[in-house]
Amino acid sequence: MNGASATPQVGPPLWLLAELTYRCPLQCPYCSNPLDFAHSGQELTTEQWVSVLRQGREMGAAQLGFSGGEPLVRQDLPELIAEARALGYYTNLITSGLGLTEAKVDAFAEAGLDHIQVSFQASDPELNNAVAGSRKAFEQKLAMARAVKDAGYPMVLNFVIHRHNIHQMNDIITLCERLGADYVELATCQYYGWAFINREGLMPSRAQLELAERQVNDQRQRLADAGSAMKLIFVTPDYYEERPKACMNGWGSLFLTVAPDGTALPCHSARLLPIDFPDVRSMSLREIWYDSPGFNHYRGDSWMPEPCRSCEEKTRDFGGCRCQAYLLTGNADNADPVCDKSPHHERILAARRAADHATAGLGELVYRNAGNSRLLFRG
């Protein structure tokens, strides 16, 4: 054990992510859902989700995200939104926009939804629809972004940035400005789930990334000079950092995810780890958060091997991302290889070198689908 930080005092979860379903009309090759999502258990019922929401609020959770897959495929979504409003959550719907209608936007507002985030794949219909695996996705997204704005919601648009759309940065920002976006998240792809198996075809080169960041900064200045209130949030990929992020602000610290089948997780990617995570059907949320082995597995620092155990930065980054450590080294206990102190940092450097010479096209990516390997687009 290593002092007080080895057995930390655990506060309540403040952010609850309800992954209502893994079903989705899109087939993005960077989807964060598990590779074997088609084999997950039966989805929680409405009553079970209501119980989860109530337990979370009783514990102190204040923010609630409805996610997936595509949460719109759940017919009980208005009921869950209304329950969340009655409980006092601040609620956010994260959606592709497919399946959304003006009537649903109005119904969600009436039920008490606070915030809607609509995702795009590119600034033009051809690339957007190719990445999404849907011929009509782009026009639907445009229409629903406008409907969200017309309903009085803040317009929050999300673009996952990768080597096939990173050249569109100026065009993406122009599109968002035309739509009247309030916030634009330009989130460079992080390599988990489907994105990990497609990393060679998705990871931009350093030159591409640096150009994109300069363009975003130039656009920020232009918007400020024009008096625009639109905010641009540019998220760089871990693979181009020398220090790891403080993943989820620390394992089991603030965030609690409940998967469609009731599995409770400290982050939405954690089920890929060889850890036995609890189920909300068999344990209360309070027992899961405070007492379950899964949630206590990486709390504190007693689990840390060197170089993390002796590192003065461990209280800032907590050793980095456990999922990234597992995917890149085969052992989730290891230091996140993003850190240049990690003995496995060369694996990150090798990925950077590969990105400088990558030639894989969209047609060579593996797209998210129940069969795990069907190619939906050939460029």
Residue 39: its pLDDT value, please? 81
The overall average pLDDT reported for the chain is 93
How far is 266 from 295, CA to CA, in rounded Å? 6
d(CA 72, CA 108): 11
Q: Is beta strand 255-258 parallel, antiparallel or unpaired with respect to 264-265?
A: antiparallel
Q: Is 28 annotated as a binding-site member?
A: yes
Kindly report the number of other CB atoms within 10 A of residue 209's CB atom: 22
Bond before 29 cis per omega within 30 degrees: no
If one counts every other C-beta atom within 10 angstroms of the C-beta of residue 270, the result is 28
24 in a labelled binding site: yes
User: C-alpha angle 231/233/239, rounded to 5°?
Assistant: 170
> pTM to 2 decimals?
0.92
Nearby residues of 105 by Cβ (< 8 Å), 6 or more positions away? 116, 144, 147, 148, 151, 153
- pLDDT over threshold 80, residue 3: no
- Exposure letters 128-158 (e unless 16+ CB within 10 A, then b): bbbbbbbeebbebbbebbebbbeeebebbbb
Domain boundaries, the chain: 15-240
| Cis? peptide before 379, omega within 30° of 0 | no
Mean pLDDT of 251-269: 96
Confidence of residue 369 (pLDDT cuts 50, 70, 90): confident
pLDDT of 321 over the 60 cut: yes
CA geometry: angle 159, 357, 203, nearest 5 deg: 20
The per-residue pLDDT for range 151-197, each reduced to its tens digit, is 999 999 999 999 999 999 999 999 999 999 999 999 999 999 999 99
pLDDT reported for residue 135: 86
Q: How many CB atoms lie within 10 A of CB 355?
A: 22
Residue 374 has pLDDT above 80, yes or no: no
Q: What integer pLDDT is reported at residue 100 of this predicted model?
A: 96
Is 31 annotated to bind ligand?
A: yes
In angstroms, rounded to a whole number, what is the distance separating the alpha carbons of residues 12 and 22?
27
- Sheet hosting strand 155-161, strand order edge to edge: 231-235, 183-188, 155-161, 115-120, 90-95, 63-67, 15-19, 255-258, 264-265
pLDDT at residue 371 in the model: 54
Task: List, for residues 46-66, the tens digit of each pLDDT value.
Answer: 999 999 999 999 999 999 999
Residue 2 pLDDT more than 80? no
Which pLDDT band, with edges at 50, 70 and 90, does 41 fall under? confident
Residue 153, pLDDT score: 95
CA pair distance 139, 155, nearest whole angstrom? 17
Predicted confidence at residue 363, as pLDDT, reads 87
pLDDT band at 8 (very low <50, low <70, confident <90, very high): low
Instruction: Please provide the DSSP assignment of 229-277 as one string.
Output: --EEEEE--GGG-SS---GGGSTTTSEEEE-TTSBEESSTTGGGSS---
Q: What is the pLDDT of residue 4?
A: 37
DSSP conformation class of 133: T
Mean pLDDT score, 318-327: 96
pLDDT band at 375 (very low <50, low <70, confident <90, very high): very low
pLDDT (tens digit, 9 = 90+) per residue, 277-314?
999 999 999 999 999 999 999 999 999 999 999 999 99
Fold held by 15-240: TIM Barrel (3.20.20)
* Residue of higher predicted confidence among 21 and 135: 21
Residues 6+ positions from 367 with CB-CB distance below 8 Å: 27, 28, 29, 133, 194, 374, 375, 376, 377
**pLDDT score of 379 more than 60:** no
Residue 255 has pLDDT above 60, yes or no: yes
Report the alpha-carbon distance of residue 337 to residue 288 in Å, rounded.
29
What sections of the chain are H helices per DSSP?
A: 46-59, 77-87, 102-111, 125-132, 137-150, 169-179, 193-197, 199-202, 206-225, 285-291, 293-296, 314-317, 322-329, 346-356
pLDDT tier at 373, thresholds 50, 70, 90? very low
DSSP 279: B
Distance CA 215, CA 113 (A): 34
The whole-number pLDDT of residue 299 equals: 94
| Residue 246 φ/ψ region, left for φ over 0, alpha for ψ in the -120 to 50 degree band, beta for the rest | beta
